[in-house]
Amino acid sequence: MLKIKIQIYCGDQIAMGPGKADLLDAIASEGSISAAGRKLGMSYRRCWLLVDVMNRCWDAPLVATSTEGATLTGRGVEVLRDYRAVQKLVGSAGAKAGQALEQHVRAEPLAAQE
Amino acid sequence: MLKIKIQIYCGDQIAMGPGKADLLDAIASEGSISAAGRKLGMSYRRCWLLVDVMNRCWDAPLVATSTEGATLTGRGVEVLRDYRAVQKLVGSAGAKAGQALEQHVRAEPLAAQE
């Protein structure tokens, strides 16, 4: 199975990647960082740290927090949409190009030798 | 900066990825697993384990070892070539699609708040 992971770096920090994109989706649907964390099985602290990195890596914050909860900003909506578009486009290119490889890979590895 | 990582899975093992492809290149140029390890700054044991996984994940071994050293098999040459082709193709697709994103990412993250 071919997996393609797309990461946008900001210096040595990851500004966007598969986990952060899923977190943005969850914040958009759940309306708070803690509810997004519960949905994804991640601690509040871990989610908060990811949001903090995202908010420092782009030219505008991606997530706005208030006493009411958390929402995506305009830039957050845009970056998430563009990231999903890159995933889709690159995924199709990869699935096509990877056919020659997938033809030769086993479903499961042979057992390790003693 | 946009980075795209392509991995081919075999069950839950990674049959091919950026590190394994670089190891195959180094084995092809250096002629042994230990010399490839020195070139890449990796221990012999680590290289040997990666070769062992690769050799168990494909329908034929990718690396042949003997008392003379190590070489890529026909399948090894083919898989490496196909993997590099997928990287190149997916890389061009990604670079183009990622332009909208890269326009908004900072060169360095803002400093973390106290």
- Interface A–B counts its CB contacts (< 8 A) at 160
Res A108: pLDDT: 95
Dist. CA B76–CA B50, nearest whole Å: 13
Specify burial of residue B67 (Cβ count, 10 A radius: 0-12, 13-18, 19+). exposed
Contact A5 B7 (CB under 8 A): yes
Question: The pTM is what?
Answer: 0.84
Residue B114 pLDDT > 70, yes or no? Answer: no
Using alpha carbons, select from B11, B5, B6 the residue that is nearest to residue B58.
B11
- Give the chain B residue nearest A109 (alpha carbons): B57
User: Does A114 score more than 90 pLDDT?
Assistant: no
**Residue in A4, A56, A108 nearest the CB of B6:** A4
ipTM confidence score: 0.85
CA-CA distance, B57 to A11, in Å (whole number)? 35
Query: Are A8 and B16 within 8 A, CB to CB?
Result: no
Residues B8-102, CATH architecture? Orthogonal Bundle (1.10)
Per-residue model confidence as pLDDT tens digits over B12-28? 999 999 999 999 999 99
| Domain ranges within chain A, ordered by starting residue | 8-102
What are A77-96's pLDDT values in tens digits? 999 999 999 999 999 888 88
Q: How confident is the model at residue B97 (pLDDT cuts 50, 70, 90)?
A: confident
